[in-house]
Amino acid sequence: MSEAAGGRGCGSPVPQRAPWSLVAATAALCLVSATSVWTAGAAPMSREEKQKLGNQVLEMFDHAFGNYMEHAYPADELMPLTCRGRVRGQEPSRGDVDDALGKFSLTLIDSLDTLVVLNKTKEFEDAVRKVLRDVNLDNDVVVSVFETNIRVLGGLLGGHSLAIMLKEKGEYMQWYSDELLQMAKQLGYKLLPAFNTTSGLPYPRINLKFGIRKPEARTGTETDTCTACAGTLILEFAALSRFTGATIFEEYARKALDFLWEKRQRSSNLVGVTINIHTGDWVRKDSGVGAGIDSYYEYLLKAYVLLGDDSFLERFNTHYNAIMRYISQPPLLLDVHIHKPMLNARTWMDALLAFFPGLQVLKGDIRPAIETHEMLYQVIKKHNFLPEAFTTDFRVHWAQHPLRPEFAESTYFLYKATGDPYYLEVGKTLIENLNKYARVPCGFAAMKDVRTGSHEDRMDSFFLAEMFKYLYLLFADKEDIIFDIEDYIFTTEAHLLPLWLSTTNQSISKKNTTSEYTELDDSNFDWTCPNTQILFPHDPLYAQRIREPLKNVVDKSCPRGIVRVEESFRSGAKPPLRARDFMATNPEHLEILKKMGVSLIHLKDGRVQLVQHAIQAASSIDAEDGLRFMQEMIELSSQQQKEQQLPPRAVQIVSHPFFGRVVLTAGPAQFGLDLSKHKETRGFVASSKPYNGCSELTNPEAVMGKIALIQRGQCMFAEKARNIQNAGAIGGIVIDDNEGSSSDTAPLFQMAGDGKDTDDIKIPMLFLFSKEGSIILDAIREYEEVEVLLSDKAKDRAAILKGKMIPSYIINSNPEMENEEQPSSENDSQNQSAEQQVVSISQTVDLVDQESPDESSLNSSPESSSPADSEDASNISPSEQTSSPTANHETPSLDGECTDLDNQIQEQSETEEDSNPNVSWGKKVQPIDSILADWNEDIEAFEMMEKDEL
> Which amino acid is it at 12?
S
Higher pLDDT, 296 or 810: 296
| pLDDT for the residue 472 | 98
Among residues 224, 336, 334, 333, the alpha carbon closest in space to that of 270 is found at 336
- For 601, the enclosing helix (H) or strand (E) is strand 598-602
| Residues of the chain above pLDDT 70, percent | 72
Q: In the chain, pLDDT over 90 holds for what percent of residues?
A: 56
pLDDT for 436-479, tens place per residue? 999 999 999 999 999 999 999 999 999 999 999 999 999 999 99
Looking at the chain, how many residues does it have? 950
pLDDT on residue 621: 79
Higher pLDDT, 830 or 683: 683
pLDDT of residue 867: 34
Give the three-state DSSP class for 537. Answer: coil
- Sheet of 389-391, strands arranged across: 348-350, 389-391, 396-398
Residue 29 has a pLDDT of 40
* Residue 653 confidence (pLDDT): 94
Residue 699's pLDDT band (boundaries 50, 70, 90)? very high
Furthest CA-CA distance within the chain: 87
- Averaged pLDDT, 204-219: 93
Residue range 741-753: mean pLDDT, rounded: 83
Catalytic residue chosen out of the listed positions 294, 371, 632, 871: 294
Neighbours of 604 (CB within 10 A): 5
When pLDDT is averaged across residues 104-131 and rounded to a whole number, the result is 98
Taking a C-beta distance cutoff of 8 angstroms, is the pair 810, 800 a contact?
no
For residue 751, what are the β-bridge partners? 669, 855
DSSP string, 172-211: S-TT--SHHHHHHHHHHHHHGGGG-SSS-PPPSEEETTTB
From start to end of 270-369, where are the E strands?
274-276, 282-284, 286-287, 328-329, 332-333, 336-337, 348-350
pLDDT at 381 > cutoff 70: yes
Identify which of 907, 326, 903 has the alpha carbon closest to the alpha carbon of residue 559: 903
d(CA 411, CA 355): 9
98, 236, 406, 736: which is the annotated catalytic residue? 406
State the pairing for strand pair 707-711/731-735. parallel
pLDDT confidence of 641, banded at 50, 70, 90?
low
Confidence at residue 606, expressed as pLDDT on a 0 to 100 scale: 56
pLDDT at 578: 73
Strand partners, 270: 265
CA–CA distance, 712 with 710 (Å, rounded to integer): 7
- Tell me the pairing of strands 855-857 and 873-874: parallel
Given 77, 123, 147, 350, the catalytic residue? 147
Q: What is the pLDDT of residue 524?
A: 53
Question: Rounded to an integer, what distance in angstroms lies between the CA atom of residue 97 and that of residue 946?
Answer: 6
Q: Which of 98, 123, 388, 854 is catalytic?
A: 388
pLDDT of residue 23: 36
Is the per-residue pLDDT at 17 higher than 50? no
Cα 230 from Cα 277, distance rounded (Å): 9
The pLDDT-based confidence of 51 (bands split at 50, 70, 90) is: very high
Q: Is the pLDDT of residue 502 over 80?
A: yes
In this predicted structure, the answer to whether residue 792 has a pLDDT above a threshold of 70 is: yes
Among 394, 387, 452, 376, residue whose Cα is nearest residue 820: 452
pLDDT category, 350, cuts 50, 70, 90?
very high
Q: What are the angstrom distances between the C-alpha of 305 and each of 248, 350, 430, 493, 758?
A: 21, 27, 29, 16, 67
User: Residue 15 corresponds to which amino acid?
Assistant: P
Confidence of residue 601 (pLDDT cuts 50, 70, 90): confident
576 phi and psi angles, rounded to 5 deg: -70, 160
**What is the structure's pLDDT at 291?**
95
Per-residue pLDDT tens over the stretch 821-874 = 333 333 333 333 333 444 433 332 222 332 333 343 343 333 333 333 333 333
Using alpha carbons, select from 716, 781, 770, 774 the residue that is nearest to residue 743. Answer: 770
Amino acid at 51: Q
Q: Residue 688: is its pLDDT beyond 70?
A: yes
Q: Where residue 614 falls among pLDDT bands split at 50, 70, 90? A: confident
Q: Please give the residue that has the higher pLDDT: either 641 or 950.
A: 641
Q: Is 388 considered catalytic here?
A: yes
Position 325 confidence tier, pLDDT thresholds 50, 70, 90: very high
Determine contact, residues 95/946, Cβ cutoff 8 Å. Answer: yes
What confidence category does residue 804 fall into, taking pLDDT thresholds of 50, 70 and 90?
Answer: low
Phi-psi sector, 594: left (phi>0), alpha (psi -120 to 50), beta: alpha
Asked if residue 626 has pLDDT above 60, the reply is yes
Residue with the larger pLDDT of the pair 229 and 585: 229
Q: What is the torsional sign of CA 461, 463, 464, 469?
A: positive
How far is Cα 277 from Cα 723, in angstroms, rounded to an integer?
Answer: 60
| pLDDT band at residue 920 under the 50/70/90 scheme | very low
Produce one character per residue of 245-281: b if its CB has 16 or more CB atoms within 10 Å, e if not. eeeebbbbbbbbbbbbbebbbeebbbbbbbbbbeebe
- The per-residue pLDDT for 921 is 33
- Active site includes 294? yes
Question: Above 70 in pLDDT, residue 806?
Answer: no
- Are 849 and 877 spatial neighbours (Cβ–Cβ below 8 Å)? no
Kindly state the average pLDDT of the residues 354-377.
96
- Calculate the alpha carbon distances from 390 to 367, 401, 618 in Å: 23, 11, 34
Q: How confident is the model at residue 670 (pLDDT cuts 50, 70, 90)?
A: confident
Residue 406 bears catalytic tag:
yes
* Mean confidence (pLDDT) of the chain: 78
Look at residue 818 and tell me whether its pLDDT is greater than 70: no
Alpha helices in 106-174 (DSSP H): 106-110, 112-117, 121-134, 145-147, 154-169
Q: Which of 293-297, 298-302, 661-665, 907-911 has the lowest mean pLDDT?
A: 907-911
Q: Give the model's pLDDT for residue 895.
A: 32
